[in-house]
Amino acid sequence: MGSVKDLILLKNPEKGNPGRGRFIFSDRYSVFDWGEMPDHIQDKGKSICISTAYFFEKLEENGIKTHYLGVVEDGVTKKLNEIKNPINVIEFKMLRVLKPQIKNNNYDYSIYKEEKVNFLIPLEVIYRNYLPEGSSIFKRLKEGSLKLEDIGLKENPIPGQKLEKPIIDISTKLEVSDRYLKWEEAKEIANLTDNEIEEIKNKALKINEIITKEVEKIGLINEDGKIEFGFDENRNLVVIDAVGTLDECRFTFEGLPVSKEIARIYYRKTEWYEKLEKAKKIDKIEWKKYVDINPPKLPEELFISISNIYKSYANELTRRRWFEVPPLKEVLMGIKKYL
């Protein structure tokens, strides 16, 4: 299906009816929209599956609709507390993916004027509680594509700043590279009403609160994260894909990153990243063809530590020892030199 997970189709989604599918969470990972990176992180897929199942079940308990049906063990769909061993498969109600067409080197979203139900909304919603170093907010403010009033600030922020109120940001989902949008543009391309925009923002704030509360129990700070939504067969808003994982969120522990951000920090120091950034300025759609080198592999110690972080997070979040790994704090102390 993509760079980090695969799809088993059980029943095709139709115009008015959801299908059924299964995600197989792989050990692959991606940064900077590159796609599959050279390393496969051991047991990452199982760790992501466990943590996203945990949060989907939490959202449902709090009255937030999702497409989640359960985790799959021995071919049977179960609740997380019913499985015996760590697994990497969830079953879900499957919505249609209506991809915008590329016309004259731009994306045409007119299909969303015609379709009303049972599809993935082509937007990625980002909540921000902090502005950590590396946040896209700083780059966008510098470029002028974002203004302080757009995010409710009066003064330029500094790296690491905690926000008085969360920012709800929005970007494209189905383009080659994610593109940040104004809310009016997001409303236009996805053909959303004012009420639907408000519902998306309110649901994002509620999900942010739930994730923050849960990870605080294990000593983590929830700095930011992404959420994806869709419409079901009755145009009810539902949370889809994955939520609350180390791939979807940026967490910290005593200032140390506890997420995919660890790999991003390492790669920002490489020649490959420099060329990638230049390429994106040349061609916003086919930029990869201008990058003439592949990303290097991670150092072995860092590679092992990242694997242990994913597994420790799943253990401590669910308060169940799925994996035989050191505590999260101990693993993080071992990677300080790379950060």
- Counting every residue written for the chain, the total comes to 339
Q: How far apart are alpha carbons 239 and 229 in whole angstroms?
A: 5
- Structure-token match 């509620």, residue found: 206
Alpha carbon of 42 to those of 125, 131, 185, 292: distances in Å?
28, 30, 40, 28
CATH pick for 5-338 out of 3.40.50.720, 3.30.470.20, 3.40.190.150, 3.30.1780.10:
3.30.470.20
pLDDT of residue 119: 97
What sections of the chain are H helices per DSSP? 44-61, 111-114, 136-143, 183-190, 194-216, 261-267, 271-282, 300-318, 328-333
Q: How far apart are alpha carbons 69 and 49 in whole angstroms?
A: 13
What mean pLDDT is predicted for residues 262-285? 92
What mean pLDDT is predicted for residues 24-53? 93
Instruction: Quick: pLDDT tens for 208-248.
Output: 999 999 999 999 999 999 999 999 999 999 999 999 999 99
Asked if pLDDT for residue 1 goes beyond 70, the answer is: no
What is the 3-state composition of the chain as percent helix, strand, coil, each rounded to the nearest 5? 35, 25, 40
Asked if pLDDT for residue 96 goes beyond 70, the answer is: yes
Q: How far apart are alpha carbons 70 and 68 in whole angstroms?
A: 6
- Whole-structure pTM value: 0.90
Instruction: Quick: pLDDT tens for 9-19.
Output: 999 998 889 99
What sections of 97-135 are H helices per DSSP? 111-114
Domain ranges of the chain: 5-338
Q: Cα-flanking dihedrals φ and ψ of residue 168, to 5°?
A: -105, 115
Instruction: Quick: pLDDT tens for 121-133.
Output: 999 999 999 998 8
What is the identity of the amino acid at 72? V
Provide the mean pLDDT of the chain.
93
What is the identity of the amino acid at 283? D
Instruction: Quick: pLDDT tens for 103-119.
Output: 888 899 999 999 999 99
pLDDT of residue 241: 94
Q: How far apart are alpha carbons 138 and 145 in whole angstroms?
A: 10
Alpha carbon of 289 to those of 3, 28, 278, 302: distances in Å?
17, 22, 12, 29
User: In this structure, what token pair is assigned to residue 123?
Assistant: 């937007």
| 3-state class (DSSP) for residue 91 | strand
Residues in Cβ contact with 323 at an 8 Å cutoff, skipping those fewer than 6 apart: 43, 46, 47, 86, 311, 312, 314, 315
User: In this structure, what token pair is assigned to residue 117?
Assistant: 């139900």
